Structures are given as C-alpha cells and as structure tokens.
Amino acid sequence: MTLARERLAASRVAHLATVRPDGAPHVVPIVFALDGDRVVTAIDDKPKRSTALQRLANIESESRVSLLADRYDEDWTRLWWVRVDGVAEILRGGGDADRAIDLLADRYGPYRERRPSGAVIRIEISRWVTWPDP
C-alpha cells in the first residue's frame, strides 16, 4: 500500500470539492471509506438545511471532484496532505450502494447504529497527489 493510500485510509474525515453549475467551488467535510480505487460516502441523517444537497446537484452537472485529507501538527515535520481526483457518481439504492454503506458502517460507529438512508457518492479515483512526497 502506498503512503498516500495509507494516510487517506487512516483519516477519519476529508473535504469533498465539487463544482457548482456556475463554476464556483463547493467544499464540504465528509466521512468516507476506501473501496479499492474508489472512495464512498453517504448522505446521512444528520440535520441539514435541505435534502436537496448542493454536492449532489453539483455532481449531477459536473462529475469531476477532488477529495482532500490532511494532518496538521505544531511540529511541521509531521504535516501532510493527500488529494485524490476522480469522477463521482450518485448511487440511489441497490447492491453497490448497500456495499458502500456496509464499508462506512465498518468504519463509523454511528452508521452501525443508524445506517444512512440517503444517496451514496462513489468516486472512481484517477489521480493521487500527496505532500510531502514520500
């Protein structure tokens, strides 16, 4: 396993960047799981302003996304970040969505207690970038 993959897999939260239909960036924190060369995340039941989430609308109009995980430390020799770029798709039920939710439930206790009922976002990773370089 590469260092970038190890760092991403160990991260508990990352930031998903999508592009709004007007071209503006949109970034939200997410929980996620790695599934080979894919990242999965789900729309869960935490309170939200609306069920029509901007990230879903963005992916429907522009499927290219980035995901960033990082570590900050006062000892700057321990800083790092990993970014993956890829193409996202929205899964609304079915075997692939169920598998994604199973992976998320394996990682996050609250999802074992209450499985997400919303859509799943699956990102096919096309590029890994990390700093510092290993």
pLDDT score recorded for residue 36: 93
Tokens of 98: 């169920």
Tokens of 34: 């790695």
Hey, how many other C-beta atoms are within 10 angstroms of the C-beta on 72? 9
pLDDT above 60 for 1? no
Backbone phi, psi, residue 131, to 5° = -140, 135
**Is pTM beyond 0.85 here?**
yes
Q: How confident is the model at residue 52 (pLDDT cuts 50, 70, 90)?
A: confident
In the chain, what are the helix, strand and coil shares in percent, each to the nearest 5? 30, 40, 35
Domain chopping of the chain, boundaries: 3-131
* Range 28-33 average pLDDT: 97
pLDDT above 80 for 126? yes
Look over the chain and give the mean of its residue pLDDT values, rounded to a whole number. Answer: 93
Q: How confident is the model at residue 88 (pLDDT cuts 50, 70, 90)?
A: very high
Query: Domain 3-131 carries which CATH code?
Result: 2.30.110.10
> Which H or E element spans position 66?
strand 64-71
* Range 68-90 average pLDDT: 96
Segment 10-23, tens digit of pLDDT: 999 999 999 999 99
